[in-house]
Amino acid sequence: MASALPARAEGNVDPRAGAPRTRGRPGAAAPRTLPPGCYAPPRVVQRSSLAARVAGAVLAASLAVAAVVLPLAGCAADHAEAPDPEVTTPGSFLAVPSGEGDFTLMRTLEVYRLAGGEAVLTVRAYRERAASRGAARELARRRDLEVEIPELLVDAGDLYRAEVVGYRSLGAEELTP
């Protein structure tokens, strides 16, 4: 009776001779044959117990180091290496003199370079005004500033009197108005 299963599933029998096949050296005992319709799963090769213990110890040590180091990382925006901020550096706080003798605090969000080498900035203007550049520096450290104009396009050449009074890297929430 022919089976629909492959020959290997019908057992470990040589179909030409009808006798069990032997593996390895001559005279070795014939391997056990399986009854028709049975399938033997492949053998799983196990690692030595020493290798398994070493791999487990390395994994446990790696997880322990990660558990200690990751909480110490903190917020990337607070601990980022600050570049030497310029008017065209995204994240720079600018003190821009106004006509009333005080300073408007602005922050550079994006910079667009034009073909002629000029730059156009997207800035955010804040409602609070500062009486001096030092007061503008103090305002730039605050995180609860009220936004007056969320996005304003400004020619970088128009900010020639602006002074950089602070820097903080921009987070995703700060890029959306």
Identify the pLDDT of residue 62: 72
Identify the pLDDT of residue 171: 86
Closest CA relative to residue 35, chosen from 52, 10, 55: 10
Ranking 6-10, 51-55, 137-141 by mean pLDDT, the lowest is: 6-10
Round to whole Å and give the CA distance between 157 and 105: 17
pLDDT over 90 (residue 125): yes
pLDDT (tens digit, 9 = 90+) per residue, 60-107? Answer: 777 766 666 666 655 545 555 656 889 999 999 999 998 888 999 999
Do both 111 and 75 map to the same domain? no
pLDDT over 90 (residue 17): no
User: Domain range for residue 60?
Assistant: 47-79
Neighbours of 162 (CB within 10 A): 21
Cα separations in angstroms, 31 against 11, 12, 24, 34: 10, 8, 10, 10
Note the pTM of the prediction, 2 decimals: 0.54
Do both 73 and 121 map to the same domain? no
Do both 106 and 72 map to the same domain? no
Do both 65 and 100 map to the same domain? no
Do both 52 and 114 map to the same domain? no
Q: Is 8 part of a structural domain of the chain? A: no
pLDDT tier, 112 (very low <50, low <70, confident <90, very high otherwise)? very high
Do both 69 and 128 map to the same domain? no
Q: In this structure, are residues 146 and 124 in contact, taking their beta carbons and an 8 Å threshold?
A: no
**139 or 12, greater pLDDT:** 139
**35 or 175, greater pLDDT:** 175
**165 or 36, greater pLDDT:** 165
Q: Is 55 part of a structural domain of the chain? A: yes
Do both 68 and 121 map to the same domain? no
- Mean pLDDT throughout 111-124? 91
User: How long, in residues, is the chain?
Assistant: 177
Do both 107 and 146 map to the same domain? yes
Do both 112 and 149 map to the same domain? yes
Q: Is 85 part of a structural domain of the chain? A: no
* Residue 22 CB contacts under 8 Å (≥ 6 apart), including other chains: 28, 29, 30, 31
pLDDT (tens digit, 9 = 90+) per residue, 18-64? Answer: 555 555 555 555 556 656 665 555 555 454 566 666 666 766 777 76
Chain centroid, CA 120 distance in Å: 30
Do both 112 and 155 map to the same domain? yes
* Residue 20 CB contacts under 8 Å (≥ 6 apart), including other chains: 12, 13, 14, 30, 31, 33
DSSP-derived pairing of the beta strands 119-130 and 147-155? antiparallel
Q: Is 121 part of a structural domain of the chain? A: yes
Overall domain count for the chain: 2
Q: Is 10 part of a structural domain of the chain? A: no
Do both 120 and 151 map to the same domain? yes
Identify the pLDDT of residue 100: 85
Q: Is 120 part of a structural domain of the chain? A: yes
